[in-house]
Amino acid sequence: MDNNEVPNGTADNIIFDWNAVRESIRSWLREDVGPGDVTTLSTIAQSHRSRAVIHAKADGVAAGLPVARLVFAETDDSLQVRFIAPEGSDIKYGDILMEVEGSTRSILTGERLALNLLQRMSGIATKTRSFVAALQDLPNPPRIVDTRKTTPGLRLLEKYAVRVGGGHNHRFGLFDAVLLKDNHLKAAGGVAEAIAMARAQIPHTMRVEVEAESLEQVKEATESGADVIMLDNMSGDAMREAVAWIRQAAPRTVVEASGGVSLETVRSIAETGVDVISVGGLTHSVPALDISLDLYDKKEVRP
């Protein structure tokens, strides 16, 4: 399998910039390894070769396997990596995710970075899958989407992990959609004014989303032609009233719910009839999935 190939089972339609990921991995390896892994270099013979297994120590969703492989490739391109679990698969405690074979020094040098990324991405995919599963029996479940509350430098990988977990992505950054939040509305002079100014500056192909905290703002955003209206931190009753208004006044408008979303509240939010539910907790405070690497079948290889 080529290093640019994503294993079967991954989320569809991911735009994955491998060159950017490769550059980041090189930088992260420089940060971790520096001029050399002194522990490994001082205790492991250069000729020593091993096979290693990366395995789960908790139940969850596997995500980031091709990224971990790229870590090992950048550490030593002679290492052989084999996937055991498909990307995006449900995994149980003890399941083997991948095997690595080659120089013991290289395996141990790349181990921590590969595990850090696997654990972070699998944690995000696992949490996302739990939100998606909570709504799967609804007749028309809303999309579960992420936010920009990501770790600096890891946004591409974290948003990819959300997709692997069955969720969807909100805008990637500040450049690919207009999202008028409370401070924009204050500075611009109001909802209608902000929408008009944005429309005058952006391409006709770009959507305008407005954050609304009250039914009054919802009505103003609807009447001013917002493409997407985010219902921010509204009560269930207020949300249902807002959805009913939007469906009547502008049925093609996308309705998003945001703020205070948890596994305990997501179903009741979905039942208000919104199209999208954005969950910052998918990325900003998700626990890592416990994953480990163990060496086995070690041997000295002599000329």
**Residue 149 a catalytic site member:** yes
**Residue 232 a catalytic site member:** yes
Residues forming a β-bridge with 255: 229
| Residue 204 CB contacts under 8 Å (≥ 6 apart), including other chains | none
Burial 104-140 (b: 16+ CB within 10 A, else e): bbbbbbbbebbbbbbbbbbbbbbbbbbbbebbeeeee
Q: Which one is catalytic: 149, 155, 171, 267?
A: 149
**Residue 211 a catalytic site member:** yes
Q: How far apart, in whole angstroms, are the C-alpha atoms of residue 222 and residue 216? A: 10
Residues forming a β-bridge with 178: 208
**Residue 112 a catalytic site member:** yes
Q: Which one is catalytic: 49, 148, 181, 199?
A: 181
For residues 186 and 158, the answer to whether their CB atoms sit within 8 Å is: no
Between the CA of residue 172 and those of 23, 143, 152, 191, 200, what are the distances in Å? 19, 16, 12, 23, 22
- What DSSP state is assigned to residue 41? H
Between the CA of residue 119 and those of 197, 206, 224, 244, what are the distances in Å? 43, 35, 44, 41
For residues 222 and 245, the answer to whether their CB atoms sit within 8 Å is: yes
Q: How far apart, in whole angstroms, are the C-alpha atoms of residue 68 and residue 63? A: 10
Measured N-to-C along each axis, helices 215-223 and 191-201 cross at an angle, to the nearest 10 degrees, of 40
For residues 135 and 269, the answer to whether their CB atoms sit within 8 Å is: no
Q: Which one is catalytic: 22, 49, 112, 207?
A: 112
Burial 266-300 (b: 16+ CB within 10 A, else e): beebbebbbbbbbbbbbbeebebbbbebeeeeeee
Known catalytic residues? 112, 149, 181, 211, 232
